[in-house]
Amino acid sequence: MGKLLKKEDLTRFLYKLRQRGDLIAPVKTNTTRFEKINDIKKISLEDIPQFSPKKFFVPQKETILKYDDNKISHKKIMGEKIIFGIRLCDINALHRMDKVFIEGDNPDTYYKKRRENTILIGYNCEKPLKTCFCESMNLEPVYDLFFYNMGNYYYIEVGSEKGSKLVSRLKDYEYDPVQIRCEKKLNKKLLLRHHQKNVWSKLTKDCVSCGKCNTMCPSCYCFTIRDENDETLRRGERVKEWDSCQYKDFTQVAGGFVFRETRKDRLRHRIYHKLLYFRQKYQKDMCVGCGRCITYCPSKIDFVEAINKLR
Amino acid sequence: MVVSREPRTTTYTPREARIISCKQLTSDTYLYTIKNVFNKKILPGQFVEISVLGVGEAPISVCNYDEETIDLLIRSVGNVTSHLVKLKPKQKMLVRGPYGNGYPLDDLKKQNLVIIGGGTGVAPPRSVIEYVLENKKDYAKTSIFLGFRSPKDVLFKEDIVEWKKSLNTYVTVDKGDKTWKEDVGVITTLLDKYKIPSKAKFILCGPPIMIKFAVQKILEKKYLEQDIYVSFERNMKCGVEKCGHCMIHGNYVCTDGPVFKWDKAKKFQE
Ligand code: SF4
Ligand code: SF4
Ligand code: FES
């Protein structure tokens, strides 16, 4: 059972939501990306966003502590966020990052709070891109609400208790949405036991280790920790910053030794982490099939195609 | 509305620990004893992240501990460690941890132990040796084989004198000098020269090349893969299976390790 919302009532609906905290939704300029919304009319649901909203959960650079001489302090935990218009792949990417940052013995303080203080309202993709292969990636309905475009209406699927409270006043409606069909498919089974195959050398021949595949990926979360001093050299911040497993120094230890020396090793590690290692640990794939790492790779490296060719 | 507030501590916030003593062991390596400020129990083989504000953090393995103190062997090789070794007693060190699985002391009970350490890789097993000395009745025979580059690189000289009193302890150097009375040659030669019990558990820590040849030798002698414990070194930024840096073949060295059994570790591929 879901709900129905007249399109003309969307602004009012979002306006009310925004009273709870920051509203974050896709805005179209030269690209479509998630931004904090001041003017609700600027929201654009038309295109699949080029960038996922991951930076609102794992910022590119985030202060983990501040120091002044030897006195340590922390930045404040921020209030509620409403993410509107997020696609199912990006919703699942967050859900999979939750495994890393929230589950286990040492949850990440800031990430955990951010996720607890978030309402996720998704938007259905009607037409996948040529590079999308989410259909192969077992996406789950892990949202609070999910919007479907129905002409003059939105059909809203309720995915959580939290979500249900937000739409309790809206009209009930019954609808069975059609599942998205992607032309591109990934045959994951082929990946097993191919560690040494020369397919990896071939695939990485043109890789330039730029790390764009990590940056654009909604579920790549690896980071480094480093200190940034201000000009006094006494004050500064310890920051947690995006890092790339494609950079050579990613595995470098003090003294200089690098464990993943070749591009082949590094790119294969990324793909294996996405599709094998993560699953061994969390019973899900880290990759959600958004295809961004393929679209935005300067060398057009397509790991899906490469895997599908394995025998 | 959620009220914003400052957390008192976070996943990555270090604690202050007073430095009790500091001893220079070789030209670039120092043994620090700091106050044990953790409320978690430490295990031999675990590590901590130590930091210098304004410089950064580095993973350092615990090389001995009790309820009051923790020993850390710090070799000045990187940015952080070269700052760390400037710290003096009574000053504070910043630490978080302890992290990692450590050695499975219960599995090792009643067993003959063979401890093999090379260079600064002697540090993690040192806490096992000290543990064994304190709980001698729980363990059968223990032999220790240590390797260093040259006589002036030998670490824990005073401890070695103590260990020799009750455990079979052998030290070798790659290149000796006039004063050196003990063995010369790579560590594997010791494994041929001295008798090891026919059933034993092996604890290995040292440079990758030493591990490789020592494991080969042990397996040649028909010991079992699952009786060999190897401690891994990796780039470790977070220590809590988040940053991704330490991952090898899907295993987190910071939590699944740093100690792995060889039957598992032999399958690791970059
Ligand atoms: S985006 Fe492409 S070229 Fe850049 S690191 Fe990734 S695979 Fe290599
Ligand atoms: S397709 Fe590429 S960018 Fe998208 S989730 Fe998978 S690995 Fe990340
Ligand atoms: S050190 Fe960060 S994941 Fe292991």
Task: Report pLDDT digits (tens) over B38-52.
Answer: 988 999 999 999 999
- pLDDT tens, position by position, A26-77: 999 999 999 999 999 999 999 999 999 999 999 999 999 999 988 999 988 8
CB atoms within 10 A of CB A142: 17
pLDDT given at position B3: 54
The domain segmentation of chain B, as residue ranges, is 15-99, 112-231
Shortest CA distance from B235: residue in chain A: A253
The CB-side HSE value for A290 (13 A sphere, CA atoms) comes to 28
Identify any residues that bridge with A149 across adjacent strands, giving them in sequence order. Answer: A154
Best CA proximity match to B50, nearest among B104, B6, B86: B86
Query: Domain B112-231 carries which CATH code?
Result: 3.40.50.80
CA distances to A99, A198, B42, B86 from A204, in Å: 29, 10, 43, 44
The ipTM estimated for the assembled molecules is 0.91
CATH fold group of domain B15-99 = Elongation Factor Tu (Ef-tu); domain 3 (2.40.30)
Is the pLDDT at A198 greater than 60? The verdict is yes
For residues A140 and A95, the answer to whether their CB atoms sit within 8 Å is: yes
Which of A131, A215, A246 for a ligand 1 pocket mutation test, highest count of atoms within 8 Å of Cβ?
A: A246
CB contact under 8 A, A227 and B54: yes
Total domains present in chain A? 1
CB contact under 8 A, B244 and A269: no
CB contact under 8 A, A106 and B242: yes
pLDDT given at position A42: 95
Residues of chain B with Cβ-Cβ distance to A227 below 8 Å are: 53-56
User: What ligand 1 atom has the least distance to the C-alpha of A267?
Assistant: 7
Name the pLDDT band for B1 (thresholds 50, 70, 90).
very low
Is the pLDDT at A178 greater than 90? The verdict is no
- pLDDT tens, position by position, B66-92: 999 999 999 998 889 999 999 999 999
Taking the C-alpha atoms of residue A196 and residue A268, their distance in angstroms, rounded to an integer, is 10
First to last CA, chain A: 44
Taking the C-alpha atoms of residue B178 and residue A273, their distance in angstroms, rounded to an integer, is 52
A128: domain range?
2-308
For residues A2 and A158, the answer to whether their CB atoms sit within 8 Å is: yes
Q: Sheet with B142-148: list strands edge to edge.
A: B183-184, B168-173, B142-148, B113-118, B201-205, B228-231, B259-261
Identify any residues that bridge with A65 across adjacent strands, giving them in sequence order. Answer: A238
